[in-house]
Amino acid sequence: MADKSDEISTTPKVKDIETDTDGHSNSTVEASVGSPENAPADFDKAIDASGFGRFNLILFFVAIFATCANMFESTTMSYILPIAECDLHLTLTDKGVLNACAYAGMIISAIPWGYLSDTKGRRKVLVCGYLLTSICVFGSALSQNFIMLVTFKFLGGLMVNGPAAVLFTYLTELHGPKYRSNVLMVVGMVTSGCLLLLPVLAWAIFPRDWDFVLFESLAIHSWQIFLFVCALPSLISGFVLWTMPESPKFLMSQGRNAEALQMLQKIYHINTGKPKDTYPIKSLVLEVPSRDAQKNEAIYTIDDKSESKTEPVKRESRTVLESLRAGMQQMKPMFHKPLLGLALQIYTMQFAMFLGLNTIRLWLPQLFSSMADFEAEFDESAEMCTILEYSINKTAETLTNHENACAEPKVVSMDMYINNIIVSACGLVGYFFAGSIIRLVGTKRLLTYGLFISSILGLALYWSVNSLMTLCLASAFLTVAGVSFSSLLSAVVSLFPTQLRSIVVAITMMCGRLGALSGNLLFPVFIQIGCLPPFVMVAAVMIIAGVLSIFVPNPKKATFT
């Protein structure tokens, strides 16, 4: 706006109009000469003026349920595998497929969800995605066989990937610069809290004798009750987000400044309790030609910002084909320097990080269960390799001698639940201190150091000699790797422009899901080859991600935004 100051001063002074004829705030007008306090504000100034208070607490409450929905969809299978292997006749490969199938759905849906978020809006994707996810989780809870369960888990992954990726963008876009850098670390803490809740729920539900039949055909077991309960966060998230405002930053990037100002006034009113008309910002910088007159039209592109910002420009409605063509035009910067190289680098890092992180995370309950069974049977601790061999043999026995092996209901030792609770609690503590650490060393250093430390811890699991050592190493690995993941996501949000941010996050998450899918399919294969290969795989991918992180621009110094 400073570039136009001379031009404005030579024009006749116009009457300062703050409302349109329809009564809505006119957020696109230029400030009158001599009224710098009423000059159009950029987004950061506008969101700061809305304050920090009750609305942010409500947003945090929503984030808890939404994050739980995200984590439950990708993690619940790891807890039911030791319990359901008799009911579903699972092989070792089947267990890997169940851990991976949700990620397959996430991979397929990543780009469409990101595209919809950047064109239809963050809120619509969040609401529809979480409500559809809850339906899929309820379907998986009614599953009667392996094929049915795999199908619903795949569909659940298909649905949850959109809101899971958009949630990060939505949260950062509803916070000012002062709080934005810590938002993703708070989400990391919530993530660890959700992962802590899962073993607690399993502990409360699995030991219960809740086997019964519905409608004379649907056999229900305790692990299905567990899945029913895990559907509630996505259902609650969908309904609560229905009442939340659209991201003002998204609306501004679409030229819908009048709506953006209304959302900011609403946030200001909730935070301060003051009337909306006392919101100090009266107009917003017009980032693109106005679309306010056509707010129900899907905006698939960002128009030329060089056009005059002093008067709203009206656009004719476009056909679907024209909108799609314009959408591809919007994505063109992704295929040119400097964004292309940076994006490919981040996608590779995310693939490697998720391959290592989620392979260990999703197989850990099975490992702890096998450790508990081994110690109960032989009354002694064992090395990691012995535990893996024992787990392979027990799964094979369940298939070849099913009637004898499954004659009694599966009872999982209390140690399995306690160990998983401890691992998740360590992650929560790690995220609690991560906010302070990131302020001291910076996002980039935390990312790089965390990845190299993770690689050492992942390989060290091979030399674990008892359950206590496994617990300590696994806790440290998942905590450090999880903090590194949040650091990378924080960098992504800072390094890419608003109109590309959701789709970049979506593709980044897609690459991560592909890594998790690959890791969970490869882990049982490598286990059957030998004890060392799966841990070498985990360490190697974390080292690769660490090397690439050295070349990631410092988010504080980057100029891409």
Q: What is the pLDDT of residue 167?
A: 86
DSSP state letters, 313-352:
-------HHHHHHHHHHHHGGGGSTTHHHHHHHHHHHHHH
- State the DSSP H helix or E strand holding residue 213, giving kind and residue range, or none if neither: strand 212-214
Total of domains in the chain: 2
Q: How many angstroms separate the CA atoms of 283 and 20, rounded?
A: 12
Q: How many angstroms separate the CA atoms of 370 and 316, rounded?
A: 64
Instruction: Give me 9's structure tokens.
Output: 């001063």
Mean pLDDT of all residues in 94-99: 87
> Higher model confidence: residue 332 or residue 151?
151
Q: How many angstroms separate the CA atoms of 9 and 30, rounded?
A: 12
DSSP state letters, 444-479:
HHHHHHHHHHHHHHHHHGGG--SHHHHHHHHHHHHH
pLDDT for 538-557, tens place per residue?
999 999 999 998 888 776 65
Q: What is the pLDDT of residue 225?
A: 92
Evaluate if residue 20 carries a pLDDT over 50.
no
Between 168-172, 183-187, 281-285, 295-299, the lowest mean confidence (pLDDT) is in: 295-299
Q: Answer yes or no: do 234 and 298 share one domain.
A: no
Between 124-128, 267-271, 399-403, 427-431, the lowest mean confidence (pLDDT) is in: 399-403
Query: 218 has which bridge partners?
Result: 214
301, 332, 363 — which closes off a domain? 332
Distance separating the N- and C-terminal Cα atoms of the chain? 17
- 8 in a domain, yes or no? no
Evaluate if residue 303 carries a pLDDT over 60.
no
Other CB atoms within a 10 A radius of the CB of residue 530 amount to 11
pLDDT band for 304, please (50, 70, 90 cuts).
Answer: very low
Of 379, 487, 507, nearest in space to 430 by CA: 487
Inter-axis angle of helices 177-205 and 54-88, nearest 10: 30
Between 99-108, 131-140, 481-490, 514-523, the lowest mean confidence (pLDDT) is in: 481-490
Q: What is the pLDDT of residue 29?
A: 40
Q: Answer yes or no: do 327 and 355 share one domain.
A: no
Q: Answer yes or no: do 439 and 420 share one domain.
A: yes
DSSP state letters, 237-270:
HHHHHTTSPPPHHHHHHTT-HHHHHHHHHHHHHH
- 10 in a domain, yes or no? no
Mean pLDDT of all residues in 155-172: 85
Q: How many angstroms separate the CA atoms of 494 and 558, rounded?
A: 8
Radius of gyration of the chain (CA): 26
Q: What is the pLDDT of residue 173?
A: 82
332, 353, 380 — which closes off a domain? 332
Angle at 266 between CA 261 and CA 268, to 5 degrees: 95
Evaluate if residue 191 carries a pLDDT over 90.
no
269, 297, 332 — which closes off a domain? 332
Mean pLDDT of all residues in 11-40: 44
Of 44, 499, 12, nearest in space to 284 by CA: 44
Mean pLDDT of all residues in 389-401: 77
- 287 in a domain, yes or no? yes
Q: Answer yes or no: do 260 and 234 share one domain.
A: no
- 281 in a domain, yes or no? yes
Q: What is the pLDDT of residue 467?
A: 84
3 state SS of 212: strand
Share of the chain above pLDDT 70, in %: 78
pLDDT band for 458, please (50, 70, 90 cuts).
Answer: very high
Selection from 13-22, 48-57, 186-195 with the highest mean pLDDT? 48-57
pLDDT for 101-115, tens place per residue?
888 888 888 778 777
- 5 in a domain, yes or no? no
Q: What is the pLDDT of residue 435?
A: 66
Q: Answer yes or no: do 100 and 151 share one domain.
A: yes
- 561 in a domain, yes or no? no
Q: What is the pLDDT of residue 555?
A: 65
SS3 track for 342-407: HHHHHHHHHHHHHHHHHHHHHHHHHHHHHHHHHHHHHCCCCCHHHHHHHHHHHHHHHHHCHHHHCC
Evaluate if residue 333 carries a pLDDT over 70.
no
Q: Would the CA dihedral through 93, 150, 509, 134 be positive or negative? A: negative
Q: What is the pLDDT of residue 18?
A: 39
Q: Answer yes or no: do 401 and 520 share one domain.
A: yes
Q: Answer yes or no: do 98 and 226 share one domain.
A: yes
Residue 130 CB partners (closer than 8 Å, separation 6+) = 66, 69, 160, 163, 234, 235, 237, 238, 241
pTM (2 decimals)? 0.70
Q: Answer yes or no: do 285 and 138 share one domain.
A: no
- 224 in a domain, yes or no? yes
pLDDT for 534-543, tens place per residue?
999 999 999 9
Angle at 282 between CA 280 and CA 287, to 5 degrees: 120
Q: Answer yes or no: do 270 and 217 share one domain.
A: no
Mean pLDDT of all residues in 484-491: 78
Contact yes or no for 61/244 (Cβ under 8 A)? no
Contact yes or no for 283/26 (Cβ under 8 A)? yes
Q: Answer yes or no: do 318 and 454 share one domain.
A: no
3 state SS of 503: helix
Per the prediction, the chain carries an average pLDDT of 77
Between 12-26, 148-162, 207-221, 291-305, the lowest mean confidence (pLDDT) is in: 12-26
Mean pLDDT of all residues in 345-360: 90
pLDDT band for 499, please (50, 70, 90 cuts).
Answer: low
Query: 284 has which bridge partners?
Result: 41
Q: What is the pLDDT of residue 21?
A: 36
Q: Would the CA dihedral through 174, 175, 181, 187 be positive or negative? A: negative
Evaluate if residue 24 carries a pLDDT over 60.
no
- 206 in a domain, yes or no? yes
Residue 163 carries which side chain, given as an amino acid letter?
P
Evaluate if residue 397 carries a pLDDT over 80.
no
Evaluate if residue 233 carries a pLDDT over 90.
yes
pLDDT for 238-262, tens place per residue?
999 998 888 888 888 778 888 888 8
Selection from 28-42, 281-295, 426-440 with the highest mean pLDDT? 426-440
Q: What is the pLDDT of residue 246?
A: 86
Between 186-200, 303-317, 446-460, the lowest mean confidence (pLDDT) is in: 303-317
Of 366, 364, 479, 483, nearest in space to 425 by CA: 479
Q: What is the pLDDT of residue 378?
A: 80
Share of the chain above pLDDT 90, in %: 16
Mean pLDDT of all residues in 150-164: 89
**Residue 294 belongs to what domain range?**
34-49+248-332
- CATH number of residue 118's parent domain: 1.20.1250.20
Evaluate if residue 285 carries a pLDDT over 50.
yes
Between 20-34, 59-73, 265-279, the lowest mean confidence (pLDDT) is in: 20-34
Q: What is the pLDDT of residue 410?
A: 67
pLDDT band for 324, please (50, 70, 90 cuts).
Answer: low
Q: Answer yes or no: do 39 and 61 share one domain.
A: no
Q: Answer yes or no: do 157 and 238 share one domain.
A: yes
